[in-house]
Amino acid sequence: MMNTKRTEKIAFSALLVLTLLVIAPVVMIFAVLLIKGLPAITPEFIFSMPRDGMRAGGIFPAIVGTFYLALGTAVFSIPLGIMAAIYLNEYAAQNWLTRTIEIAIINLAGVPSIVYGLFGLGLFVSLFGVSILAGSLTLAIMTLPTIITATREALNAVPRSFREVSYSLGASRWQTVRNVVLPNAVPGIITGVILGLSRAAGETAPILFTVAAFYLPHLPQSVYDQAMALPYHIYVLSTQVPNVSSKIQYGTILVLVGMVFILNIIASYLRARFRRRKTW
């Protein structure tokens, strides 16, 4: 009898150690990023152009580029994703077409990011050139599964009885979706969208050949322009430019990770706030 109790104690201690082994690096990563990156964060760093082969100056064009790409991704993926989710949840019957669509979404979610880059190169770049437009479209298709899944969950969370009430009063299907289902799903949708966009903002492989510029002396003027972007800039600073100070490297990383982190916090906050204010 004592033996099994002791085994349990050992086992549980081992589990704790392993868990800490996983969690500790996460904490350390953030600590290191903050300690080494914070000194680089100055207004000049954020708002000015890179100088001296990117070894000095700021990262403003990369920040702007990332912002434009996120915007473009949002414009293309949000309406499409929400409507696709509405179709699957509120309109589609249980048939082979629906199952095919669901399989397609699972696959889009699993396609390697570099393959998206190839696809973007093969289609969008040949149509629009290496541009913000091509990059946004590529990122948008990549983000689509995330938005569809999050929206479907949000739609499912709306109680079935609301729909039944609406139909029983003689409302049509679209009226029911628009007036009863969607308004109550919006908070969940927003959370999913923010998380999806924050992931898109951090991606490098899809933008390598579709939009990313090694160095641009000016900000992009139109959607047909190339642009710099934070993830690609980090890659460049880490591997393509010799003698970059680690301060600049960590500073750039901190800006990107900071952006992603803040977006995640906003999403979590919205999710918690919505859960509290729910009246059903």
Partner 1 sequence: MNKRIEYIIEKAILLSGIASVVFVILIFIFLLKEGLSLFGTENFFSFISGKNWYPISDPPQFGILPLILGSVFVTFGAIVIAVPLGIAVAIYIAEVAPLRFRDILKSGIELLAAIPSVVLGFLGIVTLAPLLKHLFNLPSGLTALAGSTMLAFMALPTIVSIIEDSIVSVPRNYKEGSLALGATHWQTIYRVILPAASSGILAAVMLGIGRVIGETMAVLMITGNAAVMPTSLLQPVRTLTATIAAEMGETVGGSSHYFALFAIGIILFIISFIINLLADWFLHKK
Partner 2 sequence: MVAKLDIYKLNVFFDSNKVVKDLTLQVEPNEILGIIGPSNSGKTSFLKTLNRLNELYRNCSTTGLVKLDGKNIHDIDIQILRKKIGIVFALPLPLPLTIFDNVAYGPRMHGIKNRSKLAEIVEKSLTSSAIWDEVKDRLNEPAFRLSGGQQQRLCIARTLAVEPEVILYDEPCSGLDPISTQKIEDAMRQLRSNYTQILVTNNVKQAARVSDRTAFFLMGELVEISNTGDLFTSPKDKRTEEYITGRFG
Report the nearest approach of partner 1 to the CB of residue 164 (Å): 20
* Residue 97 in the binding site for partner 2 (CB under 8 A): no
Site string for partner 1, 9-48 (x = CB under 8 A): --xx-xxx-xx-xxx-xxx-xx-x----------------
Look at the block and give the residue holding tokens 């390697």.
Answer: 112
Return the one option of partner 2, partner 1, none that residue 253 interacts with (CB less than 5 to 8 A, by type): partner 1
Task: List helix spans (H) across 158-245.
Answer: 160-168, 173-176, 182-201, 205-208, 230-239
Alpha carbon 69 to chain centroid, angstroms: 11
Report the nearest approach of partner 2 to the CB of residue 85 (Å): 19
Q: For the chain, how many helices (H) and strands (E)? A: 13, 2
Which one of the spans 46-54, 57-65, 85-93, 179-187 is the region binding partner 1 (CB under 8 A)? 85-93
- The one among 60, 67, 167, 261 contacting partner 2 by CB under 8 A: 167
For the packed helices 132-157 and 96-110, what is the interaxial angle rounded to 10 degrees? 130
- The one among 155, 205, 244, 248 contacting partner 1 by CB under 8 A: 205
Encoding tokens for residue 35?
Answer: 């300690």
* Residue 170 in the binding site for partner 2 (CB under 8 A): yes
Q: Which residues contact 226 (CB under 8 A, 6 or more apart)?
A: 130, 131, 132, 211, 212, 213, 216, 220
Q: Could you say which DSSP state residue 123 is in? A: I
Identify which of residues 105 and 180 has a Cβ nearer to partner 1 in the complex. Answer: 105
* Residue 32 in the binding site for partner 2 (CB under 8 A): no
